[in-house]
Amino acid sequence: MAASLAHTHLSHAAFRSPRISPPLSPPYSLKLPTLHFPTFKPLSSSPVPPQPQHRTLTLRPPSAASDATATSTTTSFHGLCYVVGDNIDTDQIIPTKYLTLVPSKPDEYAKLGSYALIGLPVSYPTRFIDPGETKTKYSIVIAGDNFGCGSSREHAPVALRAAGAAAVVAESYARIFFRNSVATGEVYPLESEVRICEECRTGDVVTIELGESRLINHTTGKEYSLKPIGDARPVIEAGGIFAYARKTGMIPMIPS
C-alpha cells in the first residue's frame, strides 16, 4: 500500500501529542518548512484492523475533546495530489454497479475504496488507483467546481477515504457530497479561493495547513489560501454528526 499520508509511518501513541515536533522522515526528499504534526488517526497505521466505528471518526483529532483549539491549529495533510476538473459527479467517484457494497461492512468498505474514481473518463490517463492496487498513492484530491454532484450516495466520500485519500480541495462542492463528508468525517472537504485545479498537476506534492487555511504545492513552490470551513467546522471538529450530537448533548454517549 502506497498511501502517502505523511503520518502513516508514525506510531499510534505519537498522535496523542499534537504539539510535539516529530522526527519526520517523509517519503519524499523535501524541505518542509513547517510540517505540523497531523492529528488524524490514519486508517493504515492502526495497530488493530480498523472496525467500522473507527472509520467514521478517522478525522477526529484524538485530543479534540480536551483541547479542540490546539488540535485545530496543528492539523495538516501532506502527500501527493490527484487533480480532476469540474462537475465530477458521484457516478465517476464510485459507479453505480459498485453500490451493492455496503459501507458499514468492513470488507465491503475496503472494496469500495479499491474502486474510487474508477468512473473517470479515459481522458484521465493517470488513474487514481494504479492497476493492480487497491489503495491510492494520492492522499489529497484537488478538484474544480461542483465536486461530488449527482446522487446522495455516501459511498462517494467513503470510497475516497477507503482508498487512502484524506482530504479534498475543490473550488466548490455539491451540497450532499459536502454534507456526507462532514457527517461521516470520512474526508475533509476544503474549498480553495482560486481554481487550483488548473495550477496543480497530478503527482505534485502538497501540504494543507488547516490552521492557516493554506495549501502549499511543494512541486511548484506556490501557495494558496483556502476558504474558512464555516459553520460546518464544529461538526467536522467533533468528528461527524454523531460525535457532534453527543458532544452537544443531543444524544447520549455511545451505549456499551
Partner 1 sequence: MASSAVAPSYTPCINKKDVGLSAFSSQLSISVQNAKKRVSRKIVAVMTPQQSERSPATTGSVKTGMTMTEKIFARASEKPQLSPGENVWVNVDILMTHDVCGPGTFGIFKREFGQNAKVWDREKIVIIPDHYIFTADERANRNVDICRDFSNEQNIKYFYDIKDLGNFKANPDYKGVCHVALAQEGHCRPGEVLLGTDSHTCTAGAFGQFATGIGNTDAGFVLGTGKLLLKVPPTLRFVIDGEMPNYLLAKDLILQIIGEISVSGATYKAMEFVGPTVESLTMEERMTLCNMVVEAGGKNGLVPADSTTYKYLEDKTSVPYEAVYSDGQARFLSEYRFDVSKMEPLVAKPHSPDNRALARECKDVKIDRVYIGSCTGGKTEDFMAAAKVFLASGKKVKVPTFLVPATHKVWMDIYGLPVPESGGKTCSQIFEEAGCDTPTSPSCGACLGGPKDTYARLNEPQVCVSTTNRNFPGRMGHKEGQIYLASPYTAAASALTGFVTDPREFLQ
77-106 binders of partner 1 (CB under 8 A) = 87, 89, 91-92, 95-97, 99-105
Q: Which is nearer to partner 1, 27 or 119 (CB)?
A: 119
Among 7, 137, 179, 247, binds partner 1 (CB under 8 A): 179
- The answer to whether residue 69 forms part of the interface with partner 1 (CB under 8 A) is no
87-116: b (≥16 Cβ within 10 Å) or e: ebbbbbbbbeebbebebeeeebbbbbbbbb
- The answer to whether residue 136 forms part of the interface with partner 1 (CB under 8 A) is no
User: Could you give the angle at the alpha carbon of 74 between the alpha carbons of 69 and 77, nearest 5°?
Assistant: 130
**38 to 57: interface string for partner 1, x by CB under 8 A:** --------------xx--x-
Q: Which is nearer to partner 1, 10 or 162 (CB)?
A: 162
3-class DSSP state for residue 177? helix
Shortest Cβ distance from residue 23 to partner 1 (Å)? 36
Q: Which is nearer to partner 1, 86 or 212 (CB)?
A: 86
Question: What does the alpha-carbon distance between residue 69 and residue 145 come to, in Å, rounded to a whole number?
Answer: 30
E-strand ranges in the chain read 76-83, 138-143, 167-170, 188-191, 205-209, 214-217, 222-225
- The answer to whether residue 191 forms part of the interface with partner 1 (CB under 8 A) is no
Among 9, 16, 175, 233, binds partner 1 (CB under 8 A): 175
Q: Which is nearer to partner 1, 160 or 235 (CB)?
A: 235
Q: Which residue has the cell 465517476?
A: 92
3-class DSSP state for residue 79? strand
- The answer to whether residue 128 forms part of the interface with partner 1 (CB under 8 A) is no
